[in-house]
């Protein structure tokens, strides 16, 4: 009987020691530290476009620079340099400068009221803007509507001029090469050959709605983020729209880390 009691006491003592050891082990185990939440993201800024016409010998380079807020500062093609000028958050003018930074002429200027685009100059012509939902619907001069714009989402899909001619765009899934530095508004000026407003890159540019297509067709090779690495642009020839000239464009980007 005494041996049985001793064995039972030994069993309970061993069990108690196991429970105590397990509890101590659990209490001293360090929980893994969760990974810190990211505070930055990567953006890609277009720094160069290289264009060559099929059969041509010369490549035309366009170089883009940015300010410290990653906004377009200059676009240089050949000897022509366009400078984008800002006041606070807003683009206030677009000027042509020489290679020393001297202003040669002003392409356009923009005036805002409470952060909303209202008026400005297109070259030397005074213009006003009609806005809705954060988008430019019309650009008017003193006597008529010069341009009337339509949109699909964040893409500008057409504009109608005072003479009734409509210029249209179709879009695919490729992103605008200027995706990470797009303008707040679509501000059409005679000096801007690139759409720096729309979210996506065009697949078709339609100069006029006629029985025969006139315009350009774009085919892209994109990177993993959807940004174009290259584009093949087939444009109708003016004299005979059944014939096309082909231009190949190669895009170069720089990556930057910016706060979320």
- B/e letters for 45-80, b = 16+ CB within 10 Å, e = fewer, are bbeebebbeeeeeeeeebebebeeeeebbbbbeeee
Instruction: Read off the pLDDT of each residue in 225-244 and give the average, rounded to a whole number.
Output: 91
Window from 20-29, 35-44, 151-160 with minimum mean pLDDT: 20-29
193 secondary structure, DSSP code: -
Residues, the chain, total? 260
Q: How many CB atoms lie within 10 A of CB 95?
A: 19
Q: Is pLDDT of 19 > 70?
A: no
Task: List % helix, strand, coil for the chain (3-state, nearest 5).
Answer: 10, 55, 35
Q: Is pLDDT of 96 > 50?
A: yes
30 pLDDT band, cuts 50/70/90, is: low
Long-range contacts from 149-153, C-beta under 8 angstroms, 24+ separation? 149/186, 149/188, 151/186, 153/199
Q: Are 249 and 202 in contact (CB under 8 A)?
A: no
Q: Are 161 and 131 in contact (CB under 8 A)?
A: no
Measured CA to CA, the distance from residue 159 to residue 167 in angstroms comes to 5
Q: Are 176 and 67 in contact (CB under 8 A)?
A: no
pLDDT at residue 233, as a whole number: 95
Structure tokens at 4: 């049985």
pLDDT at residue 8, as a whole number: 46
Note the pLDDT tens digit of each residue in 37-55. 888 999 999 999 999 988 8
Q: Which residues contact 174 (CB under 8 A, 6 or more apart)?
A: 200, 201, 203, 220, 222, 226, 227, 228
Q: Which residues contact 258 (CB under 8 A, 6 or more apart)?
A: 40, 41, 42, 43, 70
The CA distances from residue 30 to 20, 187, 209, 246, in Å, are 18, 58, 70, 64
Q: How many CB atoms lie within 10 A of CB 195?
A: 21
Q: Could you tell me which of 120, 151, 124, 125 has the C-alpha nearest to residue 136?
A: 151
Ranges of each domain in the chain: 41-78+126-259
Measured CA to CA, the distance from residue 12 to residue 6 in angstroms comes to 10
Q: How many CB atoms lie within 10 A of CB 249?
A: 19
């Amino acid at each position: 009987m005494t041996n049985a009691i001793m064995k039972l006491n030994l069993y309970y003592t061993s069990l108690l020691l196991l429970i105590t050891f397990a509890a101590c082990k659990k209490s001293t185990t360090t929980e893994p530290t969760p990974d810190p939440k990211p505070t930055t993201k990567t953006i890609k800024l277009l720094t160069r476009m290289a264009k060559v016409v099929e059969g041509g010998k010369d490549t035309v380079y366009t170089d883009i620079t940015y300010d410290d807020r990653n906004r377009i500062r200059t676009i240089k093609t050949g000897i022509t340099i366009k400078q984008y000028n800002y006041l606070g958050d807003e683009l206030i003018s677009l000027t042509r400068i020489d290679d020393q930074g001297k202003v040669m002429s002003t392409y356009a200027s923009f005036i805002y009221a409470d952060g909303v685009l209202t008026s400005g100059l297109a070259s030397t012509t005074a213009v006003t803007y009609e806005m809705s939902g954060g988008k430019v619907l019309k650009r008017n001069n003193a006597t008529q509507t010069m341009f009337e714009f339509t949109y699909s989402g964040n893409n500008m899909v057409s504009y109608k001029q005072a003479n009734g001619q409509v210029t249209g765009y179709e879009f695919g899934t490729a992103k605008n090469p200027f995706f990470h530095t797009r303008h707040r508004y679509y501000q059409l000026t005679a000096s801007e050959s690139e759409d720096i407003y729309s979210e996506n890159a065009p697949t078709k540019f339609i100069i006029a709605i006629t029985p025969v297509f006139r315009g350009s067709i774009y085919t892209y090779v994109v990177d993993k983020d959807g940004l174009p690495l290259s584009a093949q642009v087939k444009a109708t020839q003016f004299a005979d729209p059944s014939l096309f000239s082909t231009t190949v464009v190669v895009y170069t980007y720089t990556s930057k880390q910016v706060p979320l």
